[in-house]
Amino acid sequence: MNFCHYKKHTLKLLMTLIALSSFVVSSCKKDNTNDVAQNYVDFYLYLNEPSNIALNAVGGWLYVNQGTKGIIVYRRAQNEFTALERNCTYDPTASCATVQVVSGITAIDSCCTSRFSIYDGSIINGPATQPLYQYSTTFDGNALRVYN
């Protein structure tokens, strides 16, 4: 085997190893995306309507039949609201993957027992590894817009 042939063969082998190792490294990365399906959401809640009275006080919350499996709207402060998708992020395709507010600012998925804060959707304890999906909100003093 001459030197040029050996050099060419070594270079091919090296390039193959580099390509293979980059594939292995990229396939090992954890997927941090939230796999909850997102439906188009854009609606208003008027706080002067009787059905929305729970939102008149800081700490109040209510369920809204929008989104994928419903939305929890929570009043964080006088002019701040959080709107969270009720579809649990652990196994969003499971028919039972719907969080329920159980006490204070805690919501639980009875299917996998993951607990979330309705203050911001963060995980209190798993097995879920992603927070609840949070919709955007704007408030003008009377009307709360929830959208994505």
In-domain check, residue 15: no
Instruction: Compute the distance between CA of residue 41 and CA of residue 29 in angstroms, rounded to an integer.
Output: 31
What is the residue range of 141's domain? 42-147
Residue-level pLDDT at 15: 53
In-domain check, residue 55: yes
CB of 109 within 8 A of CB of 90?
yes
What's the rounded mean pLDDT across residues 13-23? 50
The pair of structure tokens assigned to 28 is: 């090992």
Q: How many independent structural domains does the chain possess?
A: 1
pTM of the predicted structure, to 2 decimals: 0.75
In-domain check, residue 20: no
Q: Tell me, what CATH number does 58's domain have?
A: 2.102.10.10
141 to each of 46, 55, 138, how far by Cα in Å? 9, 12, 10
In-domain check, residue 33: no
In-domain check, residue 132: yes
64 to each of 7, 41, 58, how far by Cα in Å? 68, 11, 18
Residue-level pLDDT at 141: 93
Q: What is the mean pLDDT of the chain?
A: 84
pLDDT tens digits for range 44-79: 999 999 999 999 999 999 999 999 999 999 999 999
Three-point CA angle 52, 40, 46, nearest 5°: 20
Confidence tier at 39 by pLDDT (50, 70, 90): confident
Residue-level pLDDT at 95: 83
Confidence tier at 129 by pLDDT (50, 70, 90): very high
In-domain check, residue 27: no
Cα-flanking dihedrals φ and ψ of residue 40, to 5°? -65, 130
Instruction: Compute the distance between CA of residue 71 and CA of residue 86 in angstroms, rounded to an integer.
Output: 5
pLDDT tens digits for range 78-92: 999 999 999 999 989
Three-point CA angle 121, 108, 111, nearest 5°: 120
